[in-house]
Structure 1
């Protein structure tokens, strides 16, 4: 599981955009978005860099990430 600090998320639409971008990389990924904390938790077997790139490509900069 990965925990990412993602900037630019302000609403449910942003959260859905992040969710869709992650699931484009791994359709079975479980994505939990905490808008208040600007954190995204992802359960996936995909590579962390691929997940970060997909989120960034959707317009949301990933400023920090860790494997949990």
Structure 2
């Protein structure tokens, strides 16, 4: 979900799937996108969501150590 911070920048916020909570060590991703232009924020948010979705898909077949490495690289 896209929303604006108090300073006018957009941020993305979404829940972490319970299967991945132990890797992220949190239940929610909350990231400022460093832009106050909606169109740019949407593109950045889509990229972050897609990376997360890809990670969620491959987490079903990877070992724990491999998942940790993928998260660390992002």
Which bin holds the TM-score, normalised by the shorter protein? 0.3 to 0.5
Bigger helix fraction: 2
For CA contacts below 8 A with separation 6 or more, give which structure has more relative contact order. Answer: 1
**Which structure has the larger Rg over C-alpha atoms?**
2
TM-score when normalising by structure 2 = 0.33
TM-score when normalising by structure 1 = 0.35
Bigger strand fraction: 1
